[in-house]
Structure 1
Amino acid sequence: MSENNTSVVVIGGGYAGVMAANRLTLRGDVTVTLVNPRPSFVHRIRLHQLAAGNDAAVVAYEDVLAEGVRLAVDTVDRIDAPARTLALASGDRLAYDYLVYAVGSTGAELRVPGAAEHAHPVATLEDAQQLRPVLDAAPADAPVTVVGAGPTGIETAAELAGAGRPVTLVCGGTLGPYLHTRGRRSVARRLARLGVTVVDGPDSTVTHVTATAVRLADGRELPSRVTVWTAGFAVPDLAARSGLATDAAGRILTDETLTSVDDDRIVAAGDSAAPSGLPLRMSCQAAMPMGARAADTVLSRLADETPETLNQPFGAQCISLGRHDGIFQFAKADNAIWFHVDGKPGAKLKETVCTGVVKHLADEAHKPGGYRLHLMGAANRQKKLQAVRGQTTAA
């Protein structure tokens, strides 16, 4: 680092990290290094397609990362905040002036008996790559069970059913908990049309997994040659291991400018951040605006300006239902409303979002500062914070 140059290191090359790294190139006196364990960008919202053999779910970093960003293919073992250095798995040490913590999330630990041995997660690139040959080795008529009925579970079940697999979707509760009742009915109809058997309700929790079956809380056993696990997410424990304050799930605690409560040289974005102890929904819809906000916080400090606080719009959630169907569930303040677009138009909107995410990152790489979606929605976030603080005060 030279006296006139500021070194910013971004940990994590997902949606939040790439957005932040690209935006930081706005200043010519900033050196940006992106540390990521993989040499390619993982398009995570396409992992269910990878599992079904319909997409590679990776994009070359050359297509989404600004030329001025140095990519270090490595893993951070520990953050030494007082010394402003990172210990890397390769044995190297990397110094920084500012750090952007964007390590993302992964699948939750498989704690249900038998799940670790017999179930296959789909939360990471490696998970989906390992699942693909397992499905290929299974007979076409072998029963497949997908556990978890959030967006990943629904999309995975629909994608596999669309490929001709007999699929059962075990919800462990409600199908698509985020969805409005009308949207949920639409999804249920379209899953049925694909041949997916939906098992929901209070007794649909999985209690045991074997090589050939899934056992439910009410004692039922569902035959399952391949069990796919999509229930729950977790964040890496890097922040906690490094002595930084985290919430109970391990997300790094920040204020509303995404600055760590421990160190104003560390900002966080994406699934691994908990601003004001009130984390946003894990999604690329949250990650990219947070990445832009984290970068803006660093840039504001370099310009001796007061950073702005988090603005986070959530206008919809989109779910693919195979290659020819989908739903675009509209929302207000991240609460689903009655209005949705489904069928082929829903599928087109979902595909537009998937391609648009990569385009947003590429556009920011070529013209840093052009992304603006993180500047919307302040009132909604502030209302939610006031409500939570009011509940805390009352308690």
Structure 2
Amino acid sequence: MTGNTDVVVIGGGYAGVLAANRLTQRNDVTVTLINPRSSFVERVRLHQVVGGSHSAVVDYREVLGERVRLVVDTVARIDAAGRSVALASGGTVGYDYLIYAVGSGSADPRVPGAAEFAYPIAILEEAQRLRTVVDGAPATASVTVVGAGSTGIETAAELAEQGRRVTLVCGGVLGPYLHPRVRRSVAKRLSKLGVTVLEGPDAKVTAVTCDTVQLGDGRALPSAVTIWAAGFAVPDLATRSGLSTDTLGRLLTDETLTSVDDERIVAAGDSAAPSDMPLRMSCQTARPLGAHAADTVLARITGVQPKAINVGFFGQCIGLGRRAATVQIASKDDTANRYYIGGRLAAGIKERACTGVVKELVDEARKPGSFTWGFKDDKRRQLLRAKRAEAAVHR
């Protein structure tokens, strides 16, 4: 390809920022990042926004390379045939290549009353709104957190550490990702903080009112503030734009993260579904996928075949208040094992991980191409081969 190449990145989260910075390795590439906010959000700290211990906001001037043009707007539609995106405010932005990194947000609760009376927490504005609600509630007010993944656990612990009366409603098991041994450790810490944990199918939420949470076994829990942390969903931009997606709306790609519909569209982060085998939605996944998406675009510009993804995992860090955490160790294929680090040491590891992620973005802005990911997962290729063999049998 000769001449200047215009690349548009939709989404300014971990994946989008890393991809945008990495693309500036070439002087003949013009990068435009489109994001609805003017500041970068440390999404892994949103529970701290609710607790009041962190703003979770970083100026884009600190994490974006000087050659990345920031457009504060929302993309309303992608015109793949015309190689342009329509903006919500009007007008269009053309591209030669597009990186789709729109991330994820709160899932539709689909529980009567939840949308009206419960407070989601998946995006900055939701967390800020909830912080105001919590501040306005009496110190003795009952707080119910629905959802026992990392977000629910961290939010419950953050508020309980401040003396709030918190009930964590799991609907299933506490920390579904965690190994049973690690789960018991987390439960012990939550109990020490005063969090009441309700597990099992009887603890599934069936309805939410202005002052109660109704459970499957007929119980009605008093709840002055109900926080909804039960799952994530991706924006429907790809679906609305006529692109192929999985059942959750993530953009379907091959193993190079290239859209199955258009080789000029590449996905990264929570909104990508490579080979219809998406990786876990997390900051841990977003960064290497963002880097790989940029590498795929750069390879296509130079006429080189892009490489397949190879992303492994180390586990999961879960904050348990400001003074403790759990670092669940996992195999590179993201299977949790019985090993973990807990207490103050884990809290220090988690904090360093959170600050380290921002530093990675800053370093990539200053030295594009510097980000590396040491964790690899060879099992994915085996699973992919098995999936293709099974598909061939059923043709």
Is the structural similarity TM-score above 0.5?
yes
Matches within 5 A, 1:275-294: 275-294=274-293
Runs of 5+ unmatched residues, structure 1? none
**Per-residue deviation at 1:137?**
1.0
CA deviation vs aligned residue, 1:136-161 (integer Å, no higher than 9, x gap): 11100100000000000000000010
Contact in 2 for aligned 1:316/1:328 (Cα 8 Å): yes
SS at match of 2:93: strand
State how far apart, in whole Å, the 1-side matches of 2:21 and 2:295 are. 11
Q: Does 1:297 pair with 2:289?
A: no
State how far apart, in whole Å, the 2-side matches of 1:133 and 1:390 are. 53
CA deviation vs aligned residue, 1:49-92 (integer Å, no higher than 9, x gap): 00111100111111111111000001100000011011001111
Q: Does 1:79 pair with 2:116?
A: no
Matched residues, number: 393
Q: What TM-score do you get using the length of structure 2 for normalisation?
A: 0.97
Matched residue type, 2:48: Q
1:253 is matched with: 252
Q: Does 1:243 pair with 2:242?
A: yes
SS at match of 1:49: helix
Matched residue type, 1:339: Y
**Per-residue deviation at 1:392?**
4.7
State how far apart, in whole Å, the 1-side matches of 2:168 and 2:266 are. 38
Contact in 1 for aligned 2:313/2:375 (Cα 8 Å): no
Matched residue type, 2:334: D
State how far apart, in whole Å, the 1-side matches of 2:2 and 2:347 are. 52
Q: Does 1:351 pair with 2:342?
A: no
1:365 is matched with: 365
1:339 is matched with: 339
State how far apart, in whole Å, the 2-side matches of 1:347 and 1:269 are. 29
SS at match of 1:203: helix
1:164 is matched with: 163
Matches within 5 A, 1:8-27: 8-27=7-26
1:324 is matched with: 323
Runs of 5+ unmatched residues, structure 2? none
**Per-residue deviation at 1:203?**
1.1
Would the alpha carbon gap of residues 92 and 320 (structure 1) be closer, same or farther in structure 2, given more than 3 Å must change?
Answer: same
SS at match of 2:134: helix
CA deviation vs aligned residue, 1:297-319 (integer Å, no higher than 9, x gap): 00011111110001111111000
2:182 is matched with: 183
Matches within 5 A, 1:1-395: 4-332=3-331, 333-373=333-373, 376-390=375-389, 392=391
SS at match of 1:278: coil
State how far apart, in whole Å, the 2-side matches of 1:87 and 1:238 are. 11
Contact in 2 for aligned 1:310/1:378 (Cα 8 Å): no
State how far apart, in whole Å, the 1-side matches of 2:122 and 2:14 are. 15
**Per-residue deviation at 1:388?**
3.7
**Per-residue deviation at 1:110?**
2.3
State how far apart, in whole Å, the 2-side matches of 1:187 and 1:386 are. 37
State how far apart, in whole Å, the 1-side matches of 2:180 and 2:387 are. 26
State how far apart, in whole Å, the 1-side matches of 2:28 and 2:173 are. 51
Matched residue type, 1:300: A
Instruction: Report percent identity of matched pairs.
Output: 63
**Per-residue deviation at 1:394?**
6.2
Root mean square deviation of aligned Cα:
1.3
Would the alpha carbon gap of residues 216 and 393 (structure 1) be closer, same or farther in structure 2, given more than 3 Å must change?
Answer: farther
Matched residue type, 1:162: E
State how far apart, in whole Å, the 1-side matches of 2:61 and 2:97 are. 24
State how far apart, in whole Å, the 1-side matches of 2:165 and 2:393 are. 51
Would the alpha carbon gap of residues 251 and 199 (structure 1) be closer, same or farther in structure 2, given more than 3 Å must change?
Answer: same
Contact in 2 for aligned 1:311/1:378 (Cα 8 Å): yes
CA deviation vs aligned residue, 1:218-249 (integer Å, no higher than 9, x gap): 11111100000000111000001000000111
State how far apart, in whole Å, the 1-side matches of 2:386 and 2:375 are. 20
Q: What TM-score do you get using the length of structure 1 for normalisation?
A: 0.97
Would the alpha carbon gap of residues 394 and 204 (structure 1) be closer, same or farther in structure 2, given more than 3 Å must change?
Answer: farther
